[in-house]
Structure 1
Amino acid sequence: PIIHPDRGTNIFCHYKIRKGDIDSALKNADVVVESVYKTPVQEHAFLQPEAGISYYDNEGRITVVVGGQWVHEDQEQIAHALNLPLEAIRIIYPAIGGAFGGREDMSVQIVLALASYRLKERGINRPIKIIWSREESMVGHHKRHPYIIKNRWGATKEGILTSAEIEIIADGGAYIYTSPKVLGNATILCTGPYSIPNVKVDSYAVYTNNIPNGAFRGFGGPQAAFSAEMQMAKIADKLGIDPVELRMRNLIKEGEPTSLQSPLPAGITIEQAVKTAAEKAGWIKNNKGQFEFSTEMQKKGSKILKGIGFSCGYKNIGFSFGYQENCWASIELYGESTIEKVVLKHAGAEVGQGAHSAFIQMAAHGLNVSPEIVELVASDTSVTANSGSVSASRMTFMAGSAIKGAAELALEKWTNEERPVIAEFKYLAPKTTPFDPETGACDPNFAYGYVAEVVECTVDSETGKVQIQNIICADDVGQAVNPQQIVGQIEGGLVQAAGYALMEDFIQKDGLTLTDKLSTYLIPTAMDIPEKIDSIIMEYPDKVGPWGIRGVGEMPLLPLTPALACAVHNATGIWFDEFPLTAERVYWGLHNR
């Protein structure tokens, strides 16, 4: 049925990529692999459900204290909804423990502000509080998009990719939300980090009667990576070429055009990531200089089957497709002959990723002072200008650029004997361009992060239970600001991805949610965490990032699911083109082959 009759169609977004002659390339390919992949809905499942308070502050502003990802966007949307000027709204974010994209859209913010506004009209000046239950949270905010991705990829018998024809259908749910942006990311990432001369992509976002879908860590990347990496694994299998070796033959190089007919920004390190992860896992180069796996996994006759899988990927850092990325920071210096106190102001949200610690570290580094004298004033629209969203793996990169600029300006003023010093800086990232509507040609992003992963698993052939034994993740972070936090980001991302791959099954029927509790929608517990995670921090400085920094928050999610699916295939000989890989799904796969 048509969800919104006034529109006449359920399709609300369509992107195209046209590069080369796809029909001729597929016709002349030595091998063609055709598959249809289905990816599931995923719930953010942050441990703190949505909550907030609102009140009028001493300056007569409606003040909303809430967990979120972009204070100034919340301010704009509340002002728009209440038809009030921006300065009449104040947003404050306390530090919270998780968001993952799930707090990018409205939840309790407008309702809180409206309640305060209406009470004030009646002469009542009391604060308002809202706390959602877990059930309210699970039906009240958007989810990760489920995708159907159809693929036909061609290659030569030597294992060189010649062509990729792809159709993506994204379930946007009942309302648009951020679906066009998520779909844009999936469209540029669906051919993987590979050089492919002939590409045709049609990607669609459609209305359904489901919960609206939107931002979730990876932002279209995990769905696209699953499709692309499974295709690579199947081509390698069909040609009898080692899966790492096949990737090495096709990885995109400096200056080579992507499917969008423009090169990636300088500083591509996908090859280094692939080599690092593969060699750590036991891949070696043979006497021809080609990668091959050196260890026998399987014990004959055992009901516990063992497998190993490999995958890699890349993901943009920052906002894309022609948006002028920007970020603001302010630094104040106090003291006489030496700097005795630093006040750093920045709007970036702390959602458990350690951003505020990183801000202080970067300011201290830029000023050459101890972090102990840096005071951070953060996430309050009354005292901080717009710094953008905590999303797109952008905040350390963008905040670092703004803080670096403010620190340099502050030191210049300090040298000129200004006391106290107040220095503001607004960083503008390199320009990007949007899709050409007919060919998709564009220069969409100014920076990327690169990652490769190896997964070892066991499969119980009697029950179908899959257990991840070991994960190796090689992630190029450019320059590590806080290595301990980076390891936390990698491990957290991998566990979240493991839940997506193995157990998280969000069920909707006739527009209703059937899994609205953590007793029915299962997420990993301490018993489900992989036995061993080897987080390898690679540091190849980014050409644009401050002090060489790249983003890291989303990258570990992308390769995990395809690497696990490849490990299950290595163990069982069965390709699973749909997940989560629950015991039931794997059991029936084993018994129906």
Structure 2
Amino acid sequence: MSADATTPPPVSTTSVGATPLRLDAHDKVTGAATYPADRFPDDALVGKVVFTDQPHARLTRLDVRAAEAVPGVVAVFTGRDVPVNEYGLTMFDQPVFIAVEHTGRSTVPCDVSRWEADHLAFVVAETKEAADAAARAIDVEWEQLPIVGDIDDALADDAVLLHPENGESTNSYTNYKIRKGDMDAGWARAAAVVEATYEVPYQEHAYLQPEAGLAYVDDDGRVTVEVAGQWTHEDREQIAHALDLPDDRVRVIYPAIGGAFGGREDTSIQIVLAVAAQQLHARGENRPVTVQWSREESIVGHHKRHRGRIHAKWGADADGKIVAIESEAWLDAGAYNYTSNKVLGNCHLSQAGPYEVPNAHIDSHAVYTNAVPGGAFRGFGGPQGSFVSEMQMNRLAEALGIDPVEIRRRNTLRDGSIGITQAPLPPGVTLPEVLEACAEAAQFDQPLPDAEPFSPFASLAPATDDLLRGRGFACAYKNVGFSFGFPERCEAEIILHGDGDTPEWAEFFHAGADVGQGAHTAFVQMAAEATGLPIESVKATFSDTSTTGDSGSASASRLTFMAGNSILGAAEEAEKAWRNGDRPAVGFFRYVPPPTEALDPETGICQPNFSYGYVAQAVELTVDRRTGHIVVDRVVSTHDVGKAINPELVIGQIDGGLAQAHGYTMSERLRVADGRVLNPRLSTYLIPGIGDMPTRIDAVVLELADPRGPWGARGMAEMPMMAYAPAVLSALHDATGVWFDTFPLTPDVVLERLA
């Protein structure tokens, strides 16, 4: 029961810049690929996570004896079974299990459920039916506590503190500032001022594969967890911390992964699986423990894109140059931090947009509530802040009578610009080129074609007189790699083999997660290019902490950039060993990019990032003013990727990102009230189907090298999310003359605002 090294069988011998067959293409289209649930042995035990079902309550009694007595039940694990009953990706503020008494070594009060999906127990049984019956048999009593349902509740004068252990006097627990320039002088120069309050919604990741995994103790005595995630070594660290084990006594393996988008960056089932495997092994039970969530459990039980509120006031002079920005953001972190403190940082920077801003006063806050936690999601705070900055820019353009593209030309960041944190931008700023390419491809200076008749209902004739057409434009930038001083790194190993003067084949080891984006194919392409070998001569092993070094996360648009640089370094080290006569020749390399810095607490001064990606999007749409239905007729999505390692995969990332951005903007409304998700099913949480997508998508790919990127490549996976919502809402304004300050743009919302 160990991970098998994969030996890719592609026919092509091309590498960087080509589009060979994806390594996993055959297995995925034939069904041979093994996702975690496909790897469950026939004799495996069945686990069930029991949620507290309490948004805010104190546990006063927990008795699992009746559950343990259910026929077929092997064990019921609770807080008493966890040596260190706490976890958290960036701070330990969440119990593994809610427990009556303070259990294990933990700084977190463990007796309070702050979220309906907090874990109460983990039942292990012979069958799913027995596990379900045992979950129902748990005897539990609660003391109900006031529910802090949203940001307003959290900030009220009489608000209940959800995490008093932090020593804060408010539920606003992470706060960032930017203070730049002279605000009075800036406002004095303003010929136009626009001000609005924006609401940004939740978004559910809705990945194809709900949470599933298995755990056991392997032949070397390591607690082993096979699961879908985004960072094997961080999962290992979280498990080891809770189990109070050295890292090398824990092993994490990623099989095939059915999507992630940030939803698998934080732990869900990893720790409880590991606790069960360790405890059962100590009792002499060595069968693997498995768990597989339903879609409802997945939607309730993992974090979401943050909902929030941002108030913004922007001013520009008569020439359209930005002179002052005031902005304040509140993101709903939910019951626990997850990565809210980091997401808030990206939202904080992006509120100023990708523009030169001489004077700025920006405040941003993460706020605890009893709602579902917010966490990583494609764009990582950038879409929320960029929505505001781009809506404000389009409002300024209208107020000044300046074309939306032209006003951006006058303000855009470029090489040598000083950013909002008063540090020079990393080299390779290509937003001016991206803007021009998008405007040209969209023919933004040409008249908009007439609307094509359409009907939202098969029973209605197509509308003609009630159709309105509009176009919108937006742009953005997004960090590539971890930010604000987080210790960034990525490791790779290459071993060259052969008997002659030149290597004949190579082993390649890398932990980077392929969450469906094709990363492993791109990795092998880069390894082949770096070693001068054909792709089929590279034998790759991926995502197993026992054999692969720490890659960092499959997030922050970083993996191609970071992995590529680590691969180049490993290939160089292996080549040196080969020249020295080593057979085989081993090359290991840890790539560390230029350092970043934390925000200064009073001014925000810092160097926040070492690289960025750049995007511009133009949208054409038609709205039926009778029904409120919208058809997005065309999207031009323009990206500088530095170098397309695999052009087809780049296009796939753009198309997939636009699908997700389209759902976020148009239809995906997660309903949360009093700490509970009210629509935890895909029948009522509407992700777009093929018939809901934009009628036409034009992906424009530029290859303007990032000076620090491998072969010039820069990350781009999050970029399609960044500018789409403001481009759509600005197009809707162009069509109707009405500004919309929130979304998704479901027909009822559109009709209400038009009225």
In the superposition, the TM-score normalised over structure 2's length comes to 0.76
Q: Structure 2: which 5+ runs fail to align? A: 1-158, 453-463
Task: Give 1:273's aligned residue.
Answer: 434
Q: Does 1:492 align with 2:644?
A: no
AA matched with 2:595: K
Distance 2:646 2:347 in 1: 30
* Aligned mate of 2:273, from 90, 109, 112: 112
Q: Give the aligned partner of residue 611 of structure 2.
A: 447
Give secondary structure in 1 for the equivalent of 2:373: coil
Task: Answer yes or no: is 1:41 the counterpart of 2:202.
Answer: yes
Q: Is the 8 A contact 1:298 1:571 kept in 2?
A: no
Kindly report which structure 2 residues correspond to 1:390-409, keeping only aligned pairs within 5 A, or say none: 390-409=554-573
Alignment partner of 1:566: what SS? helix
The residue aligned with 1:522 is 686
Shift of 1:418: 1.7
How far is 1:297 from its partner?
4.2
Query: Which residue is equivalent to 1:382?
Result: 546
Report the Cα offset of residue 23 of structure 1.
2.9
Shift of 1:103: 0.2
Cα pair 2:415 2:430 within 8 Å, conserved: no
**Rounded Cα–Cα distance in structure 2 between residues aligned with 1:384 and 1:81:** 22
> Which residues of 2 match residues 86-485 of structure 1 at below 5 A?
86-283=247-444, 293-297=445-449, 302-337=465-500, 338-485=502-649
Structure 1 runs of 4+ aligned residues shifted over 3 Å read: 296-301
Whole-angstrom CA distance in 1 between matches of 2:202 and 2:163: 25
Shift in Å at residue 469 of structure 1? 1.1
Secondary structure of 1:163's partner? strand
Partner of residue 176, structure 2: 15
Structure 1 position 86, deviation (Å): 1.2
Provide the C-alpha distance between the structure 2 equivalents of 1:419 and 1:374, rounded to a whole number of angstroms.
16
| Letter of the 1:432 counterpart | T
**Which residue matches 1:573?**
737
The structural deviation recorded for 1:298 is: 5.1
* C-alpha distance in 1 between matches for 2:160 and 2:368: 8
CA separation in 2, counterparts of 1:323 and 1:179? 14
8 Å CA contact 1:297–1:307 kept in 2: the answer is no
Q: What is residue 245 of structure 2 aligned with on the other side?
A: 84
2:653 match: secondary structure: helix
Shift of 1:324: 2.8
Distance in 1, Cα, partners of 2:489 & 2:348: 24
Q: Deviations over 1:429-483 (max 9, x none)?
A: 0011111111000001000000101111110111000111111111000001000
Task: After superposition, give the CA deviation of every residue in 1:322-363 in whole Å (9 maximum; x if it has no partner).
Answer: 123111000011111132221100111110011100110000
Match of 1:559 among 716, 719, 723: 723
1:372-417 residue CA offsets vs partner (Å, 9 max, x unmatched)? 1111111000011111010000000000000001111212222332
Query: Which protein shows a greater Rg?
Result: 2
SS in 2 for 1:534: strand
Aligned-partner Cα distance in 2 for 1:437–1:8: 18
2:187 maps to what in 1?
26
Match of 2:27 in 1: none
Supply the distance in 2 between the matched residues of 1:27 and 1:182 (Cα, whole angstroms): 33
Whole-Å separation in 2 of the counterparts to 1:144 and 1:299? 34
Give the letter for the 1:519 counterpart.
S
Amino acid at match of 1:575: W
Does residue 1:56 correspond to 2:214, yes or no? no
Q: Using the alignment, how far apart are the partners of 1:5 and 1:562 within structure 2?
A: 35
1:133 partner amino acid: S
Q: In structure 2, what is the Cα distance between the partners aligned to 1:304 and 1:473?
A: 25
CA–CA distance in structure 2, aligned partners of residues 185 and 494 of structure 1: 20
**Distance of 1:520 and 1:528 partners within structure 2:** 15
One-letter code aligned to 1:294: Q
Task: Tell me if structure 1 keeps the 8 A contact 2:477–2:615.
Answer: yes
Alpha-carbon distance in 1 for matches of 2:562, 2:398? 41
Deviation, 1:16, is 0.3
What is the rounded CA distance, in whole Å, between the counterparts of 2:448 and 2:667 in structure 1? 28
Distance in 1 between residues matched to 2:207 and 2:161, nearest whole Å: 30
Please tell me the residue identity of whatever aligns with 1:506.
Answer: L
Q: Distance in 2 between matches of 1:247 and 1:106?
A: 40
CA contact (8 A) 1:143 1:216 kept: yes
Pair 1:2 & 2:181 matched:
no
Amino acid at match of 1:517: R
Aligned to 1:287: none
Counterpart of 1:347 in structure 2: which amino acid? A
Q: Compared with structure 1, are the counterparts of its residues 299 and 211 closer, same or farther at alpha carbon in structure 2 (3 Å cutoff)?
A: closer
Equivalent residue for 1:289? none
Pairwise CA RMSD of aligned residues?
1.2
Name the TM-score, length of structure 1 as normaliser: 0.97
* Partner Cα distance (2:363, 2:322) in 1: 19
* Distance in 2 separating the partners of 1:254 and 1:423: 35
Find the aligned partners of 2:677 and 2:431 in 1 and give their Cα distance. 40
The letter of the residue matching 1:479 is K
Distance of 2:600 and 2:722 partners within structure 1: 26
Equivalent pair of 1:102/1:142 in contact (CA under 8 Å): yes
Give the Cα separation in 1 of the matches to 2:337 and 2:591. Answer: 30
- For residues 499-518 of structure 1, the aligned pairs below 5 Å read 499-518=663-682
Shift in Å, 1:305? 1.2
- Counterparts of 1:274 and 1:88, CA distance in 2: 51
What's the % identity of the aligned pairs?
53
